[in-house]
Amino acid sequence: MPDLTFDDEEVGEELRHRSEEELNRAPFGIIQIDDDGVVQFYNRYESNLSGVDPEEALDTNFFTELAPCSNNPLFLGRFKDGGCKEEMDEHFTYTFTYKM
């Protein structure tokens, strides 16, 4: 996936059309969650960053189980606002504060 970078404006739309194999080769972390915050996909790059096996991440709640430091108004708040607007195309800087 060398033609796609995390900072590309259309990265979200482009990722929707990639296979799991391609998503696992991405040079950045990719986590797909459903409307309730439950992890549907967790790529290898993200697994290497977090130390969490992709199989262990699946079916967990991102905000309460996988990354509880994101359970705050800035991160979870944007997720909920996007769900209400039915528009989940958010790109913002966030520093995870959890300790490994």
Signed CA dihedral, 24, 66, 71, 86: sign only = positive
Averaged pLDDT score across all residues of the chain: 82
Residue range 91-97: mean pLDDT, rounded? 63
| Contacts of residue 51, Cβ cutoff 8 Å, sequence gap at least 6 | 100
- Residue-wise pLDDT tens digits, 4-41: 676 676 777 788 888 999 999 988 888 999 889 999 99
pLDDT at residue 92 in the model: 58
pLDDT at residue 80 in the model: 79
- Residue-wise pLDDT tens digits, 37-91: 999 999 999 999 899 999 999 999 999 999 888 888 878 887 777 666 666 655 5
pLDDT at residue 61 in the model: 96
Using alpha carbons, list the distances in angstroms from residue 24 to 1, 8, 54, 99. Answer: 9, 18, 10, 25
